[in-house]
């Protein structure tokens, strides 16, 4: 019985799409290493809040240097693994060239770390200012799921823009599983985003979000429909998600679909379904509850 099962699982006709074999020992992406990349970046963005809590002003340079060196090693290895997926199935990659390219991309990513920290500092400050329940930016950094998800997004988006395959989505899904917030690496998000509570927030791949936007739990920035090719498959890479201007507020459980524009300073009320452009400064709310039936107590 076991032998039959083993033979069935190893049968060549069952493997396409579910098995990635290494033809010449090339690496595969590793979830533990991807998680470590996020941990190291969090330590670099917020020294003392993550990893080594003994960071002081007089040893900060040392700790930053060690973390960057570790990040360079792990990230280069994982980018190499991601790049191996670019070759056609059954064609071994040129590992020497792939490793050299991964090292170049790694250095380009590391050079962006100060800018990413600036963005995240704005996100933390916006969350503190926007939430009356927040007592300090330190509390936000330590505990708020919105900032944790944005940290992963800033990392994943930078790798996505560098053209790194696979790894950005693995990082975004770490945040998704950890916080319930689903931010696609391709989404462009300006500084000062506040994701309040956050659970159930979905931001699609071609979404654009401006500065100082506030989004509450359950909000979706999604696609309304998909263009399809001759084989009836969705056409990829087509802008299909909303563009949200600066200083916009979107309240809980609202769904905004399609390549529409939400103008600067607009306020979108909760539990709405929006598929049309919203003018700058416009406010959308439900005029009154409808179809509510009161039943007698049992």
Domains delineated in the chain: 24-180 (1.10.3130.10), 200-287 (2.160.10.10)
* DSSP symbols for 216-274: ETT-EEE-S---B-TTSPBPTT---S-EE-TT-EE-TT-EEESS-EE-TT-EE-SS-EE
Instruction: Determine what percent of the chain is predicted with pLDDT higher than 90.
Output: 70
Distances (CA, A) of 218 to 60, 102, 197, 242, 249: 39, 37, 9, 16, 13
Q: Pick the residue with more confidence: 15 or 259?
A: 259
Burial class (CB in 10 A: 0-12, 13-18, 19+), 231: exposed
Which 3 state secondary structure label does DSSP give 174?
helix
Burial 57-72 (b: 16+ CB within 10 A, else e): eeeeeebeeebeeebb
pLDDT in tens, 79-93: 999 998 776 555 677
Determine the Cα–Cα distance for residues 262 and 205; give it in Å rounded to an integer: 17
pLDDT in tens, 103-154: 999 999 999 999 999 999 999 999 999 999 999 999 999 999 999 999 999 9
Distances (CA, A) of 167 to 69, 80, 156, 177, 206: 19, 10, 8, 15, 18
Question: In this model, does residue 4 exceed pLDDT 90?
Answer: no
pLDDT of residue 91: 66
pTM recorded for the entire structure? 0.90
């Amino acid at each position: 019985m076991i032998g039959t099962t083993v033979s069935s699982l190893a049968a060549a006709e069952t493997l396409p799409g579910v098995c990635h074999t290494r033809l010449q020992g090339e690496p595969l992406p590793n979830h533990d290493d991807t998680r470590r990349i996020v941990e190291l970046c969090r330590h670099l963005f917020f020294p003392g809040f993550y990893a080594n809590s003994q960071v002081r002003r007089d040893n900060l340079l040392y700790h930053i240097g060690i973390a960057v060196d570790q990040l360079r090693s792990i990230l280069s290895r994982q980018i190499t693994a991601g790049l191996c997926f670019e070759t056609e199935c059954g064609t071994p990659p040129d590992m020497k060239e792939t490793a050299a390219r991964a090292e170049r991309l790694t250095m380009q990513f590391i050079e962006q770390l100060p800018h990413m920290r600036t963005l995240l500092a704005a996100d933390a400050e916006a969350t503190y200012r926007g939430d009356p329940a927040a007592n300090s930016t330190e509390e936000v950094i330590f505990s708020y799921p919105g900032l944790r998800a944005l940290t992963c997004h800033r990392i994943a988006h930078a790798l996505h823009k560098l053209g790194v395959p696979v790894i950005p989505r693995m990082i975004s899904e770490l945040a998704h599983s950890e916080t319930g917030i689903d931010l696609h690496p391709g989404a462009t998000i300006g500084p000062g985003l506040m994701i309040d509570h956050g659970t159930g927030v979905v931001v699609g791949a071609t979404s654009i979000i401006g500065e100082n936007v506030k989004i509450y739990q359950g909000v979706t920035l999604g696609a309304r429909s998909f263009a399809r090719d001759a084989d009836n498959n969705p056409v990829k890479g087509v802008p299909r998600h909303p563009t949200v201007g600066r200083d916009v507020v979107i309240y809980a459980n609202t769904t905004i679909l399609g390549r529409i524009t939400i103008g600067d300073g607009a306020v979108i009320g909760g539990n709405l379904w929006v598929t049309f452009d919203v003018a700058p400064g416009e406010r959308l709310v439900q005029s009154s509850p409808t179809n509510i039936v009161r039943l007698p107590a049992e």
